[in-house]
Structure formats: C-alpha cells, structure tokens
Amino acid sequence: MLSAILVMSGIALVLGGVLGWAAIRFRVEEDPLVDKIDAILPQTQCGQCGYPGCRPYAEAIAKGEADINRCPPGGEEGIRQLAELLGVEPKPLGEGLVHKPKSVAVIDERLCIGCTLCIQACPVDAIVGAAKQMHTVVPELCTGCELCVAPCPVDCIRMEVIKEDISNWKWRYPVVSLTALA
C-alpha cells in the first residue's frame, strides 16, 4: 500500500520536474496581445492598413508601430474595441482611409482577357479562372477589399455595393459617430 503511494508520487514528481524544466527550456516568446488584437480585426486580409494582412497589422499594433485607426473594414466598432483593449482613446479612421459600404467585386466578363493578374492579387482566393480564360468572382468569398481593381489592365472590375435585402439585413448597432464626439 505504502509502496504503491510512494511509486506513484515518485513517478508524478519526476514527470512534473521534467515538464517544469521543459516549460522553461521551450518557452515560446509569444505576445498574447497579438492574438487578442488579431481576434478583433475583421480578417479580410485586405492590406488597406499598409500591412500584408491582419496578423502582421496586429503584430505592428502590439509593438506600438502602427496606430489603431488603420482598418477600414473593421470600422468604428473595431477601433472602439481596439481602444478598449489597449487602454487608449478611440480616434476616427486614419486619413485616406474611408469606411465604404459593404461591396463585392464584379468582373465584366465580356471585357476580361484572362490575364490572371486579379487572381494573384486576391487575398482570399475569391476569383476563379485560368490563363486566357474568362475570370469571375465568387461573391460569397469576396471581402470587398478592392485589391483586384488596380491590377486589371482592361479595367473590367468594378465594385458593386451589396444592397440590403431580407437575407443580409440586421439590426444596426446604436453607435455614436466618433467624429461627432471629438
């Protein structure tokens, strides 16, 4: 009886020691703040903030290199949450960044020459097509980031605002505009 208790506690002690040592030896230098910021960002990976995606932007915010108001898709609600998390004053969206109504890219298929440039630009793989074949946008996947508009050599991509209908309407948050408060 006693030996059983001794053996089990011995095994537990040894394993606990090894795990404790491993926790120190293999400690991962990871900022938990980055994950929290990344969770607030809208994950559109649009790059309008000037960083190649939401996670790099989150890392830049955590390091203090970037301001919190560089994310148009997140809107004022996003800035408000970031300000709350980081304990700073919320501020209006940065200059040159505007919050646009939600829209999707539409390719004019008569004009498309099949150059695949927009496919390479799309951060969420929402454009289908192959070289010298007509391309088209999968509207369910499109985040409306407009990154595909600029590369198109024949200007056949336009942004269309998504109209509200019964399938996508929802209650609006009662938000007061930050610019009005300032």
Residues found near another protein in the complex (CB under 8 A): 3-4, 7-8, 10-12, 15, 18-19, 22-23, 26-28
Strand partners, 107: 157
What number of H helices and E strands is found in the chain?
Answer: 6, 4
DSSP 41-57: S------TTSSSSHHHH
Identify which of residues 4 and 166 has a Cβ nearer to another protein in the complex: 4
CB of 132 to another protein, least distance (A): 26
Identify which of residues 28 and 166 has a Cβ nearer to another protein in the complex: 28
CB of 61 to another protein, least distance (A): 20
CB of 30 to another protein, least distance (A): 9
Contact predicate 98/72, CB 8 Å = yes
Identify which of residues 33 and 178 has a Cβ nearer to another protein in the complex: 33
Identify which of residues 13 and 161 has a Cβ nearer to another protein in the complex: 13
What does the angle CA 105 – CA 138 – CA 40 come to, to the nearest 5 degrees?
75
